[in-house]
Amino acid sequence: MAGLFGNIKLTPPEDIDVRTVRIGKMKALVLSPKEGAANAPGILWIHGGGYFLGMKEMVYMSRALRLVRWYKAVVVSPGYTLAFQKPYPAAVKDCYRALLYMQSHAEELGIDERKLIVGGESSGGGLTAAVCMLARDRKEVKVAYQLPLYPMMSSVDTESSKDNHGRVWNTRLNHLGWKFYLREKAGKKVSPYASPSFQKDYRRLPPCYTFVGDGEPFYAETLAYVENLKKAGVSARVDVYHTDMHAFDMLSPDVAPGPEAIQKFEEEFERILEELELKGKERKAKRTTPKGSWSRETRVGRPAAGKAGEIKRRKKRPSFKRSPVRL
């Protein structure tokens, strides 16, 4: 696999500000516009590599780089634990922790926490789906959109991943990746946080955009994920390109269908930003009480006054902590 990236530079571009932060014991890269960021979209971009390969610097060859350059987004690329070091759930825990970091450091990073997006390619796409599921279930952070590109989601063979001899990734490598990630549970039914294709409830997951090649191993599971989201009432779109080359947009960006896929991805990202801006305006409008309308105080009556005009406040209802979601 190392030879695949031999001609690709994994060094920071000069026109983007890059710094390293620590999230617990994990290092992560933060990519920002040179001129700084304010209320920018915050994108957690998770690198691929079959769960057992790859590095955070792969963000420099990913779709995320141009989102910083052209759309002034802030991207965080976590150096999550690889499966040859520790199996599941180490990687998904690291990535979810990075998402919480983005939320809690939103002002410092210059991002709008209402515009948190999670994306990634290949196994990073699988981790994208898993992190979105975990965020929905734990209710600690809200993801506005997900971008799992040609995601590695099914730990069992699908119609397209079995007996696949595509370029870059194939059945043999796929089995190896899942073996590293799940160890003795590889090929068996596992938690959807480990293999998102086992998810049964797709409701309230973030809207989704993705693309995939029709001859690569993850074709079937990508289409199934999008279809399941749609059935659950979640907006989801997928573009399919005629190629058996996995990660063609990263490894051969100038060769068809790379340019078309890249252009369509960026058009979709523009649409996503417009959609998020519209939602923001709608939220702001709801918070503003129209002139002449009944206020809450008018409807329910003013609170009773106490001594010296003090307002007696109602006692807060006791809060009940939710049971933690186990990985």
**What is the per-residue pLDDT for 324?**
61
Assess if residue 111 is contained within a domain: yes
How many whole angstroms separate alpha carbon 101 and alpha carbon 117? 13
Assess if residue 100 is contained within a domain: yes
User: What is the rounded average pLDDT of the residues 252-265?
Assistant: 97
Assess if residue 296 is contained within a domain: no
How many whole angstroms separate alpha carbon 205 and alpha carbon 312? 41
**What is the per-residue pLDDT for 285?**
75
- In the chain, how many domains are there? 1
pLDDT tens sequence across 193-216: 999 999 999 999 999 999 999 999
Range of the domain at 161: 13-285
CATH number of 219's domain: 3.40.50.1820
DSSP 165-187: --BS--HHHHHHHHHHHHGGGTT
Assess if residue 299 is contained within a domain: no
**What is the per-residue pLDDT for 185?**
93
How many whole angstroms separate alpha carbon 78 and alpha carbon 90? 13
**What is the per-residue pLDDT for 291?**
53
Assess if residue 295 is contained within a domain: no
Assess if residue 216 is contained within a domain: yes
How many whole angstroms separate alpha carbon 263 and alpha carbon 261? 6
pLDDT for residue 306 is more than 90: no
CA separation, residue 257 to residues 134, 214, 262 (Å): 33, 12, 9
- Please check whether residue 221 is in contact with residue 229, taking contact to mean a CB–CB distance below 8 angstroms: no
pLDDT for residue 6 is more than 80: no
Assess if residue 274 is contained within a domain: yes
pLDDT tens sequence across 147-180: 999 999 999 999 999 999 999 999 999 999 999 9
Write down the pTM of the prediction.
0.87
**What is the per-residue pLDDT for 283?**
74
Assess if residue 309 is contained within a domain: no
